[in-house]
Amino acid sequence: MTGIGTVASFDAIEPGIRFEMLSEVVTTQQLVRYAGASDDYNRIHYDLPYATEAGLGGVIAHGMLTMGFMSRAVSQQAGESGLVKRIATRFTSPVRPGDAVLVTGTVTARRRKGLEAELDCQLTATVGEKRVAEGDATLRLVLTETGKEPPRSPD
């Protein structure tokens, strides 16, 4: 699967190009840490008996953590000189501890004005065969005069 980051020139980025990113496995510890970072201490995210009694079948991840995985996937595609201009997400199923989220993006449109370009992407997040979120994003890229993205610094 070709990713935006591997394309040599903006002109080569056509609608239909896909990229993907697999998250780390979600852990209960990660959910507790995310609760602290987001100030969202709803017990359905870390208290198994409470989440089960609430009818959720167990602990579920914060929806915004799932969106964070989606944001990371598009941010990686934008690169160091680009940015995520807009992202929207609709959650369709819960993510649970033990799940790894696969984010798949597809470029749906591209626009260029001088040395700036925008890409619209459709996003899907899945756990196995189950769709857990969907949405879309707009990336802004800064191009060099040759139409290529500026070189990225080595990691």
| 138 pLDDT tier (thresholds 50, 70, 90) | very high
Backbone phi, psi, residue 98, to 5°: 95, -15
The token pair at 71 is 């944001």
Q: What is the pLDDT of residues 21-56, one digit of tens each?
A: 999 999 989 999 999 999 999 999 999 999 999 999
Q: What is the pLDDT of residues 102-136, one digit of tens each?
A: 999 999 999 988 888 899 999 999 999 999 999 99
- Put simply, whether the predicted model's pTM sits higher than 0.75 gets the answer yes
The confidence score (pLDDT) of residue 2 equals 43
Kindly provide the residue ranges of all beta strands, DSSP E only, lying in 39-129, ordered along the sequence: 83-91, 102-113, 116-127
Q: With a cut of 80, say whether residue 93 has pLDDT above it.
A: yes
Q: With a cut of 80, say whether residue 4 has pLDDT above it.
A: no
The confidence score (pLDDT) of residue 149 equals 54
Q: With a cut of 90, say whether residue 142 has pLDDT above it.
A: no
Q: With a cut of 60, say whether residue 69 has pLDDT above it.
A: yes
Backbone phi, psi, residue 24, to 5°: -70, 165
The confidence score (pLDDT) of residue 137 equals 97
Residue 29 DSSP label: H
Closest CA to 4 of 151, 128, 14, 49: 14
Contact 87, 110 (CB under 8 A): no
H or E segment to which residue 70 belongs: helix 63-78
| 65 pLDDT tier (thresholds 50, 70, 90) | very high
